[in-house]
Structure 1
C-alpha cells in the first residue's frame, strides 16, 4: 500500500514536470511561429495526453460554452484515441485479478481493441462459460494522471480569474470543477456498472422491450475493469448502414429518444453522454445503449418544473413559462 502511494506521488511530481515542459514549449512556439490561440491550445492538449484530450473533446462538443473557433479546432480531439499495446492491458488485468488465473475466467481475449478512448480500451473476449463479452480496461496510470492534471487546471483557472477579473463572470473555475466531477466519476467502473444495472432495471419496470443495455458480469469486474455482455449491431453514426438494417430509420431515433426521455423521470440516473456513437441498432432490431460512464440525475421538482414549462410553451402562456 505504502509502495503504491509513493509510486503515485512520484508519478504526480513527474507529471507536473512534464506539463511544465510542454507548456514552456507551447510558449516558445507562440513567440516564434505565432499560431492561432485555438490551434496552439489544441496541439498543446494533444501533447499532454489523455486528460487534456478529454477536455478537448468537451470543448468540441459544447458550442454553447466555447467560441466557435475553439469548437471547430478541437474537433480533431474527437478522433484522438491512441491504442495501447496489449501487453499493457494484460498488466492491468493481472493486477486487478491478482491471485486468479485469467485463463479460468476468459477462454479468449482479442488482442486488437474494438475501441480505444482517452481513459479506457475495449477488447472482445469470451468467458470460459461460453458467453461473448467485452472488457473495458482502464489504461495504466490514467487515474493518477487525471487527478494531477485536473488539479493543475483548477489551479490555473483560479489564477486566471484573479489575473483577469472579467473571466470570473464566465464561471471558469466552476466549469472546471464540473468537468473534474464528471471525469473522476468516469474512472470508477464500479459506479458505471451500477449505472448500467439501474438502466436495465428501468427498462424492465417500464416494460420497454425495444431497447436494452449490456448485462454486467460483476464477478469479473473491478474499479478498473468492466466485463459486459457483447451487443451485436451497428452504431447509429453509420446512418447508411442503419437504413439497410431498419425499415424505418426515423423510428429508430424516435424509439431511442423516447427511451432516454423516459429515463429522466423513471431511472435513478440518465445517460448524460448520449450521442450516435453510444447508440446501436442491434441485429434483433432493438436499440442498444452503451457507455454509461457519465450520467446525471434530475430531482423530482426539476422534472415537474420541466413538464410545467413544456405545457406552458404549448399554450403560449409566457407568464407561466417565466415562473417555471
Structure 2
C-alpha cells in the first residue's frame, strides 16, 4: 500500500458511516461544493480509472510507433502522476470532511481544526507539485500569489518553497545536458562552474560560473526530461480539469488547457527567452526613457546559450520582497513598489509587450553600479532587475485602449463606463460587476464609492476574509468569467496577482492603483490626440482629463502621507469629510451608497442584491 492510500485508509477506518453517508465535497475555505449531490466518491473512482486509460491510450498512440522505450517511460509516468493526483485529492477531501465533521460553525474548535487541515492539505499539495514537477510547480507558484483568494496556510506554504527552492537536477544530469547541447562538459565551457545550483525553480535551475575572460555569469539549466514531460503535462492537465468539471460542473477550467498548450513550449525555449529579454530592455530604452535608469535586464551570452541552456550576466542583488535587505541598501521599500508598478504599467499601456510571470523570485533589487550626479553630490540609483523572460504576451492597441478605459472608469467610480468597457473586454453584461471585483480585489460597494479612499488597497485581514468568502460563494460565476475573457486579459490578471503579492510584502497600499490610474489615463489621452492632431478642443479635453486624474491621485497620496505621519487609523481619519455627498453611515459600520443598486435586468442577481453578492459586503 502506498503512503497516500495508507493515509486515506487511516482517515476512514474509525468512522465507517462517514464515507457512505457524510462524505461531502469541501473547498479549502470550508464551504460546500455541491450540497445537492454528495455521493460522488464512486464516480470519482470511475473517472480516475477512465482518465488513466484515456491518457495512456492517447499517449501510446502518439508515441509508440517511434521510440518504444521512451513511450513506455511516458506511459508509466503518466499513470503515476494521475494516480498521485487522485490520491492527493481524495486525501484532502477526506481530511476536511473527517476533521470538521460535527464541529459547530464558528466554534473555536472548528477554527483550530480547519487551520490544521489547511496546513496538512497545503503540504500534501506541495508534495504533489514537487513529485510531479513541471507545470504542477508553476500552478503551485501561482497559488502562492493569491493572498486574497486562498487561506494563508496555502499561500505561505507555496510561497516559502515554490519560487526558488524546488527539487534540483543532479550534476550528472546537468553534464548530460551540456554534452547534448554544446558537445562539451561544463568545465570545458567555463573556467569555473559551481556544481551546486544557486536556486531551482519549476523549469530550470541556476548555476554560478565564470567565463575564460573572467566574467561572472549565471547559467540557467533546464531540468532533465522536461521536453518529454511537457507533452505529458498538457495531457494530464486536460484529463484533470475535464474530470473535475464532470464531478463538479461549477468548476469549469477547461480554458486552462489552451493556455498551457500555448505557453509551456514557449517557456521551455531559452532562445526565445533571450529574445524576449532583449526586446524588453530595448522597449524601456526607446519607449520609456524616463524609467530606463531604474530598470535593468541582465545581458545574454548568445554564444553560450541554446534552447535548453541560457547564460546571462550575474547580478548581485536582493530579493524584491526582502524588506530588511532592501532597507540595508538605503532604499525605501515604497520606492521599489513605485518603480515596479510604473515599469509594468508602461509594459501594458506603452509597450504592449508584458512580462506575465513577475513573482518575487523573478525580480531583484540592487544599487546601480554607476553613481548618479545630483545637486547634493553623487548618489546610488536603486534598480529593479527583471529575470525569467520566458512568458510574455503581446497586447494589440485596441485591447490596450479598452483596458485603459476600464481602469479610468474604476478610478472615477463611473458605473456606466465600467460596465461598457467590461463588456467590450468580454465579461458580458451579467458579469461586469464580478470582473471589476476580480480586477481590483475589492467589493463592489467600495469600487463605486465616490470618495477618494476607494482607490486605497488596505490589505487587512478583514478584507482578505471578505474576498475569500465571496470567492467561495461565486465559484460558477468566476469560472464562467474566466472562460469568456480573452487569454491576454487572463495573463494580465495573473500579472496583477503577482504584483499585488509583492506590493503586499513591500507594505504599499496605493502605488499599484495610483500608477495604473495615471498610465491608463495618459494612454487614453495620447490615443485621443493622435486620432485628431489638429483639434485644439480634443487636446484640451485630454489634458483636462489628465489634470482631473492627477488632482485625484495627489489628494489620495496627501491623505495617505498625513495618515502615516500621525499614525491615525485610515477609516477614522477620513470617514467624515470624504463620505459627504456619497452616502450615510449605517449602524453596522457599512456605507449606504446611493448608487450601489446599479444592476440592471442583465446582471446576475447573485452579484447585486443577494445576501452573498459583492455589493452587499460590508464597506
Q: TM-score normalised by the shorter chain: which range applies?
A: 0.7 to 0.9
Could you say if the C-alpha distance between residues 196 and 6 of structure 1 is closer, same or farther in structure 2, counting changes exceeding 3 Å? farther
Whether the aligned pair in 2 keeps the contact of 1:108 and 1:126 (CA below 8 Å) is yes
Aligned to 2:206: 122
Could you say if the C-alpha distance between residues 311 and 10 of structure 1 is closer, same or farther in structure 2, counting changes exceeding 3 Å? same
Aligned to 2:150: 68
Bigger Rg, which one = 2
| Structure 1 position 92 matched with structure 2 position 194 | no
| Structure 1 position 151 matched with structure 2 position 235 | yes
Aligned to 2:351: 267
TM-score normalised to structure 2 length: 0.46
Aligned to 2:80: 18
CA positional deviation for 1:130: 2.4
SS of alignment partner, residue 124 of structure 1 = strand
SS of alignment partner, residue 172 of structure 1 = coil
| Structure 1 position 304 matched with structure 2 position 401 | yes
CA positional deviation for 1:4: 8.6
Could you say if the C-alpha distance between residues 318 and 22 of structure 1 is closer, same or farther in structure 2, counting changes exceeding 3 Å? closer
CA positional deviation for 1:55: 2.4
Whether the aligned pair in 1 keeps the contact of 2:244 and 2:252 (CA below 8 Å) is no
Whether the aligned pair in 1 keeps the contact of 2:296 and 2:385 (CA below 8 Å) is yes
Aligned to 2:418: 321
Could you say if the C-alpha distance between residues 124 and 51 of structure 1 is closer, same or farther in structure 2, counting changes exceeding 3 Å? same
Could you say if the C-alpha distance between residues 25 and 295 of structure 1 is closer, same or farther in structure 2, counting changes exceeding 3 Å? same
Q: Distance in 2 between matches of 1:271 and 1:30?
A: 34
Q: Distance in 2 between matches of 1:43 and 1:74?
A: 15
Tell me which moved more, 191-200 or 8-17: 8-17
Q: CA RMSD in A?
A: 3.0
Q: Distance in 1 between matches of 2:157 and 2:360?
A: 18
**Runs of 4+ in structure 1 over 4 Å off:** 2-7, 23-43, 100-104
Could you say if the C-alpha distance between residues 269 and 7 of structure 1 is closer, same or farther in structure 2, counting changes exceeding 3 Å? farther
Q: Distance in 1 between matches of 2:129 and 2:236?
A: 13
Aligned to 1:194: 275
Q: Distance in 2 between matches of 1:59 and 1:277?
A: 14
Q: Distance in 2 between matches of 1:270 and 1:159?
A: 33
CA positional deviation for 1:315: 4.1
Q: Distance in 2 between matches of 1:147 and 1:73?
A: 28
* Equivalences for residues 1-324 of structure 1 within 5 A: 5-23=67-85, 26=88, 38-39=121-122, 41-62=125-146, 68-69=150-151, 72-73=153-154, 75-78=156-159, 79-80=161-162, 81-98=166-183, 100=184, 102-103=186-187, 105-164=189-248, 166-167=249-250, 170-205=251-286, 206-207=288-289, 208-267=292-351, 269-284=353-368, 285-324=382-421
Where does structure 1 lack aligned partners over 5 or more consecutive residues? none
TM-score normalised to structure 1 length: 0.84
